[in-house]
Amino acid sequence: MAQHETYLLDRLEHDDSHTLDRYSKTGGYRAIEKILKEGLTPEQVIDLVKRSGLRGRGGAGFPTGLKWSFMPDVAKDPRPRYIAVNADESEPGTCKDRVLMERDPHGVIEGILIAAYAMRVDTAYIYVRGEYRFAYDRLLGALAEAREQGWVGQHVLGTEFSIDIWMHKGAGAYICGEETGLMESLEGKRGHPRPKPPFPAGFGLWGQPTTVNNVETLFNVPFIIDRGPEWFAGMGSEKSKGNLLVGISGHVNTPGVFELPLGMSAKTILEEYAGGVWKGKELGAWIPGGSSTGFLPAHMIDLAMDHDSLKEAGSMLGTAAMIMLDEDACVVRAMEVMARFYDHESCGQCSQCREGTEWLHQIFGRIERGAGRLEDIELLTSLANGMAPGKTICALADAAAIPTHSIVKNFRHELEQHVEQGCCPKRRAPQLSGTTA
Amino acid sequence: MTKIILNGEEVEVDPTKPLIAACHEHAENVPMYCYHPGLSPVGSCRICQVNVKIGEMPARTVVACRTPITEGMIVDTEAPAAHDARRQCLEFLLKNHPLDCPICDKAGECDLQDYAFAEGQGEGRSVEPRRKLEKRKSLGDVILLDQERCILCSRCVRFFEEVPGKPQLTVADLGARSVIATFNDRPLEGNYQGNVADICPVGALTLKEFRFQARVWNLKKTRSTCGECSRGCAITHEVLRGNDIKRVRPRFDPEVNQYWMCDRGRFAFGALNRTDRLEGAALRVEGGYRAVDPTEALETIADAVRTTETVAIVASPWLTLEEGAALLELARSLDVTPSVVTLPSSSLADDLLHTDDESPNRRGLVELGFAPKDADVARAALAGADVAFLVGERGAALLGVDELAALPRSTRLVLFDETPHPAAYVQLGVPNAAERAGTWVNVDGHHGQIAAAKPAPAGVVPLERHLERLATAFQPAGGSA
Amino acid sequence: MNEHANNPVDEPVDEPQDPLGAKLRAEFDELIKHYPEKQAVLIPALHRCQEDLGGWISPEVMEALAELLELEPVEVYGVASFYPMFHLRPVGKHVVGVCHNVSCDLRGAEDILERVCQVTGAAPGVDSADGRWTVARLECQGACTSAPMFDLDGVYHENLELDDVERILGAVESGNEPN
């Protein structure tokens, strides 16, 4: 196994990694202490994060320091301002934020403290998906400890810096992971993404300046402050710095969440970390970064796992949630499951998405059951082109269109086989498809 | 105002409104479903796609209802990319639409039907079964919901939130399972429910009262003013084959009612379709009435006035300004100050449209010089006179049909009204509010026009004609009164 | 209507019951302080109601929450119906949600679901005849690297083998909570 420097999951070797005691013993809250004691200005903190090259770990890969700098100048715009922590992890294949929240919640909290200091925010909400009860409870417990010790509350370390952090529970809607859907949901509404502009930095929670950051993104920040941006920028690839939590699931021997430098080849991850394809089989297809990033053929497994390499290959890094399909797995079936997911999760505002996700689901279901027509393949492409890119309020329609295009482009032969044989060639029997209750 | 280039021409537009409003002001045909000029824009249906180029950025296809106006922006509503995007959007909207236009009350004025005709592909590409949902769901006394036709534009949801200000509808569930619903299937409440049928861009929300009453293309539409309260909402009377009013709908008036009207006004048209009308003129005779020529009726009135001491004139607040002026002329020639009946304060008054006065022209008549009197005082004035004029539609009803019957025998009641009354000495029929033209002045002083949407009954002529002839009889030239 | 919110027998039956109760109200009063606007409490409050008031959200609860948060009941309904975690109809004593998304599907989620249905006598959309079980298909639960999984009464059970199903469900039924 290739050796590389690690930091994200180091603390997890201890069973009590979630406690303040362990956190403090392993360098915890050192970064916020440094900022407050050395009197770094918020602008200096943002500059450190910018120099580190940290990019958001929620899927879009936007530079974090730049995002923070979009918050309005507090002297000119004294409105209340907020941080919303996006802990609504729900992109299929993705379960890395859960690890951090359950096993190292103080790291998340310290990341929030630094972000709040840098953006002069005094109230943050952690929006945790409702199903993550254990992660929620761990964060709640950690917050109580942090409050007790004075890390969260009024006048942290006796300085002017004050911060409230509140837990907030979602209720099972994927779309609330979209940052404006999250804000609507946090306000107690249906999680309908908002048209942009206006952008959250000017008009976010309750119409006030707001920054939404992913859990893993914030988790990286204390390390950057503590060890310096140059240290951070020394890891990863040219345009994607630092280490990344990569989840690998599906048909592998040892699925799991691994800390890897950005830019490692997918093949290395599959073979050296996930123990290779299970049952001694060959790889059939794979998804690099969560369901929205689409299916790639086995021969592209050499790709480097970073933003730009995958973009060049017509895919995306997304949430770095790799899903592996063995040679006997049916990609059409996997696509049907995905299409069913987007059908279930479309918020229903935009016509193309509401109707299009259902339509794609119906067509893939029909093809998988052996009731497809050859013209359905062109129809799939045409529908996906009608849904995206950029034709709807948010990117959910895009997220359904991308895997659709990827199947037609990379696995057209399998679609044709289904149609010609009148059944799924890999599963033989006509399949019933479920709908999410 | 801000200058933009709209389809190649420089135009000045209002920068406080979204781009789609500017397009519509300049008669560009940009379709819309979720957008309604009287509601906040949400940008969800995605049909109003246009091409916009700002500065050096490449042109983008965007929804016009959520695009702010910026100086110098170049807008192309007919760009192929915009048409493509709209066509694609339309295909998705039609995919589950039941296409039951032949039995849909909205057919003929349906935005989905119209735009499908203009832009549609002519042939559906879906072989999937259409969504089966409830087709006749009652939402109370006024509105019927067809869930299959609904395209989830949410105009109706926003209407209750933003106009009356009390939410009553929601989109329930999500995604393709979304439906419009009330809480716990409760009926809709309040005086403004009918508006959601007007603004529904498809046939999902229809008026129970209008169900299967007419094909809308057979309705003749006449611009008028609502007479059910002193707001005087701008309306349209819609008449089927020159006969009955089948529907009343609000008409946009920025100073009065915007896009809305109340249900009381909307559904009051039954009275305008009454057939038990007073036609022509009639004189009381032993054991009943004798139909007479109006000239004879007017001469009888003139004779009565000439041979008597006291005359009282009471007007209905439904008189138009023009009718009021003619009556005032008559009153002056008789040296009488006319009164106008005032109604008791309405329990339906709200802070949206409905006022506390359920009559349309009190203000106009008082400004002309009529003395406001409530029904009891007006009736006493009539009772104290030898000849008592009660003039205008609904006059007898306002003073009480039974109470009028109890007028002293010495009082000769001269009645100009829509329906006959047994206490009248002479009576002449008048056209109702859908049968004549004129002006009402609303509570704020706004002048609203009414117009004849259908013919008056046989022998019924405009009231002014009678009043003018009568006034002539008392002119100084014709001898001192 | 609300058969699941059993009234304690010693309370007078003619008194109108507060569907929320003093304990939840006290919690919500505290939560309201966390936000600049009351409505933000709605989703957390719906969770707490579902947890404490019989496993589902009744119309009476929605009305009470609307009043508390200065909303119309239809707004509460619109929100509650948007989120799949909220049950707007009564559910069985135990709720099993089987993830059927990609990673779980690849590792046998449909077989797990079939076994769950066999063991419980319930199926997605059809509770068991004895009212003990509700079974649902769920979208991705974030347990992809420990697939397949199900959520039993709010607790994840991961890395499932077919033979685990009967043991785990049997344990909760016999009152021995599985770990």
pLDDT of B109-166, one tens digit each?
999 999 998 887 778 899 999 999 999 999 999 999 999 999 999 999 999 999 999 9
C70 touches chain A (CB under 8 A): no
Contact list in B for residue C86 (CB cut-off 8 A) is none
**Per-residue model confidence as pLDDT tens digits over A32-64:** 999 999 999 999 999 999 999 999 999 889 999
B46/A391 CB distance under 8 A: yes
H helix intervals, chain C: 21-32, 42-52, 59-68, 73-82, 102-106, 109-120, 162-173
Contact list in C for residue B166 (CB cut-off 8 A) is 72
Collect all residues with Cβ–Cβ distance below 8 Å to B233 and sequence separation of at least 6: B225, B226, B250, B253, B256, B257, B260, B261, B262, B265, B353
Contact list in A for residue C156 (CB cut-off 8 A) is 134
CB C110 within 8 A of CB C100: yes
Predicted pLDDT of residue C54: 95
Q: How many CB atoms lie within 10 A of CB A312?
A: 10
Q: What is d(CA A309, CA A148) in angstroms, rounded to the nearest whole number?
A: 45
C59 touches chain B (CB under 8 A): yes
- Asked whether the predicted pLDDT for residue C13 surpasses 60, the reply is no
**Per-residue model confidence as pLDDT tens digits over C120-165:** 999 999 999 999 999 999 999 999 999 999 999 999 999 999 999 9
C39/A189 CB distance under 8 A: yes
Q: What is d(CA A341, CA A396) in angstroms, rounded to the nearest whole number?
A: 11
Predicted pLDDT of residue A431: 47
Q: What is the pTM of this model?
A: 0.94
- Asked whether the predicted pLDDT for residue C10 surpasses 60, the reply is no
C26 Cα to chain A: minimum distance (Å): 17
CB B140 within 8 A of CB B187: yes
CB C84 within 8 A of CB A173: yes
Q: For B60, which residue in chain A has the nearest alpha carbon? A: A390
Q: For B87, which residue in chain A has the nearest alpha carbon? A: A386
Predicted pLDDT of residue A430: 43
SS3 C22: helix
A95/C143 CB distance under 8 A: yes
H helix intervals, B79-182: 80-95, 111-119, 155-162
- Asked whether the predicted pLDDT for residue A427 surpasses 70, the reply is yes
Q: What is d(CA A294, CA A24) in angstroms, rounded to the nearest whole number?
A: 41
- Asked whether the predicted pLDDT for residue B86 surpasses 80, the reply is yes
Collect all residues with Cβ–Cβ distance below 8 Å to A93 and sequence separation of at least 6: A247, A249, A250, A287, A289, A290, A291, A319, A321, A322, A323, C102, C103, C140, C144
Predicted pLDDT of residue B474: 83
A348/B95 CB distance under 8 A: no
Nearest to A351 by CA among B86, B100, B125: B86
Show which subunits contact B, needing at least 3 CB pairs below 8 angstroms: A, C
Predicted pLDDT of residue C5: 47
C142/A129 CB distance under 8 A: yes
C-alpha A284 chain-centroid distance: 25
Provide the number of CB pairs (under 8 Å) joining chain B to chain C.
36
- The strand order across the sheet containing A164-169 reads A164-169, A123-128, A82-87, A210-214
Q: Which of the residues C139, C150, C155, C179 would you substitute to probe the A interface, choosing the one with the greatest number of A C-beta atoms within 10 Å?
A: C139
B173 Cα to chain C: minimum distance (Å): 5
Q: In degrees rounded to 5, what are phi and psi of residue A352?
A: -60, -40
Mean pLDDT of all residues in B234-249: 95
B454 Cα to chain C: minimum distance (Å): 42
Contact list in A for residue B173 (CB cut-off 8 A) is 348
Predicted pLDDT of residue A243: 95
- Asked whether the predicted pLDDT for residue B36 surpasses 80, the reply is yes
Predicted pLDDT of residue B481: 39
Predicted pLDDT of residue C14: 61
Q: For A361, which residue in chain B has the nearest alpha carbon? A: B128
Q: Which residue has the tokens 């009065």?
A: B256
Q: What is the largest CA-CA distance in chain A?
A: 73
Contact list in A for residue B45 (CB cut-off 8 A) is 350-351
B174 Cα to chain A: minimum distance (Å): 5
**Per-residue model confidence as pLDDT tens digits over B17-27:** 999 999 999 98
Nearest to B59 by CA among B43, B84, B79: B79
User: Which pLDDT band, with edges at 50, 70 and 90, does A434 fall under?
Assistant: low
User: Which pLDDT band, with edges at 50, 70 and 90, does B475 fall under?
Assistant: confident
CB B418 within 8 A of CB B274: yes
Q: What is d(CA A334, CA A54) in angstroms, rounded to the nearest whole number?
A: 33
Contact list in A for residue C110 (CB cut-off 8 A) is 434
User: Which pLDDT band, with edges at 50, 70 and 90, does B105 fall under?
Assistant: very high
Q: Which of the residues C65, C82, C98 would you substitute to probe the A interface, choosing the one with the greatest number of A C-beta atoms within 10 Å?
A: C82
Nearest to C59 by CA among C36, C81, C43, C85: C81
How far apart, in Å, are the Cα atoms of C88 and each of A435, B61, C61, C107? Answer: 18, 40, 10, 31
B160 Cα to chain A: minimum distance (Å): 17
C59/B168 CB distance under 8 A: no
User: Which pLDDT band, with edges at 50, 70 and 90, does A428 fall under?
Assistant: low
Q: Which residue has the tokens 């008409």?
A: B251
Predicted pLDDT of residue B480: 42
Q: What is d(CA A187, CA A194) in angstroms, rounded to the nearest whole number?
A: 13
**Which has the minimum average pLDDT: A18-22, B238-242, C57-61, C83-87?**
B238-242
Show which subunits contact A, needing at least 3 CB pairs below 8 angstroms: B, C
User: Which pLDDT band, with edges at 50, 70 and 90, does B477 fall under?
Assistant: low
B187 Cα to chain C: minimum distance (Å): 12
For B178, which DSSP code? -
Q: For B130, which residue in chain A has the nearest alpha carbon? A: A359
Q: Which of the residues A341, A354, A379 would you substitute to probe the B interface, choosing the one with the greatest number of B C-beta atoms within 10 Å?
A: A354
Pairing of β A243-250 and β A256-261: antiparallel
Predicted pLDDT of residue A201: 97
Q: At what angle do helices C59-68 and C73-82 cross, to 10 degrees?
A: 120
∠ CA A424-A429-A435, rounded to 5°: 80
Q: What is d(CA B467, CA B428) in angstroms, rounded to the nearest whole number?
A: 11
Sign of torsion, CA B280 B283 B284 B286?
negative
A175 token code pair? 């779309």
B45 touches chain A (CB under 8 A): yes
- Asked whether the predicted pLDDT for residue C79 surpasses 60, the reply is yes
**Per-residue model confidence as pLDDT tens digits over B364-405:** 999 999 999 999 999 999 999 999 999 999 999 999 999 999
B176/A354 CB distance under 8 A: yes
Q: What is d(CA B395, CA B316) in angstroms, rounded to the nearest whole number?
A: 5
Contact list in A for residue C66 (CB cut-off 8 A) is none
∠ CA B138-B141-B147, rounded to 5°: 25
- Asked whether the predicted pLDDT for residue C175 surpasses 70, the reply is no
SS3 A88: coil
**Per-residue model confidence as pLDDT tens digits over B301-359:** 999 999 988 999 999 999 999 999 999 999 999 999 999 999 999 999 999 999 999 99
Q: For A330, which residue in chain C has the nearest alpha carbon? A: C106
Collect all residues with Cβ–Cβ distance below 8 Å to B76 and sequence separation of at least 6: B7, B50, B51, B52, B53, B59, B82
C32 touches chain A (CB under 8 A): no
B176/A345 CB distance under 8 A: no
3-state helix, strand, coil in chain C (%, to 5): 45, 10, 45
User: Which pLDDT band, with edges at 50, 70 and 90, does A139 fall under?
Assistant: very high
Mean pLDDT of all residues in B211-238: 96
Q: What is the per-residue DSSP string for B15-57?
A: TTS-HHHHHHHTT-----SS--TTS-----S---EEEEE-TTS
User: Which pLDDT band, with edges at 50, 70 and 90, does B182 fall under?
Assistant: very high
C72/B183 CB distance under 8 A: yes
- Asked whether the predicted pLDDT for residue C55 surpasses 60, the reply is yes
User: Which pLDDT band, with edges at 50, 70 and 90, does C3 fall under?
Assistant: very low
- Asked whether the predicted pLDDT for residue A221 surpasses 70, the reply is yes
- The strand order across the sheet containing B244-250 reads B219-225, B234-240, B244-250
Q: What is the 3-state secondary structure of B255-305?
A: CCCECCCCHHHHCHHHHHHCCCCCCCEEEEECCEEEEECHHHHHHHHHHHH
Nearest residue, CB atoms, B176 vs list A173, A346, A379? A346
Contact list in B for residue C81 (CB cut-off 8 A) is 170, 172-174, 181
Contact list in B for residue A357 (CB cut-off 8 A) is 175-176
Type of residue found at C48: R
B159 token code pair? 């209407």
Q: Which residue has the tokens 């995958």?
A: A310
C-alpha A116 chain-centroid distance: 21
B46 Cα to chain A: minimum distance (Å): 6
- Asked whether the predicted pLDDT for residue A368 surpasses 70, the reply is yes
B176/A355 CB distance under 8 A: yes
Predicted pLDDT of residue B202: 97
**Which has the minimum average pLDDT: A424-433, B31-40, C42-51?**
A424-433
A436/C155 CB distance under 8 A: no
B380 token code pair? 């006493």
Interface pTM, i.e. ipTM:
0.94
Predicted pLDDT of residue B119: 84
Contact list in B for residue C78 (CB cut-off 8 A) is 170-172
Mean pLDDT of all residues in B433-447: 98
C33 touches chain A (CB under 8 A): no
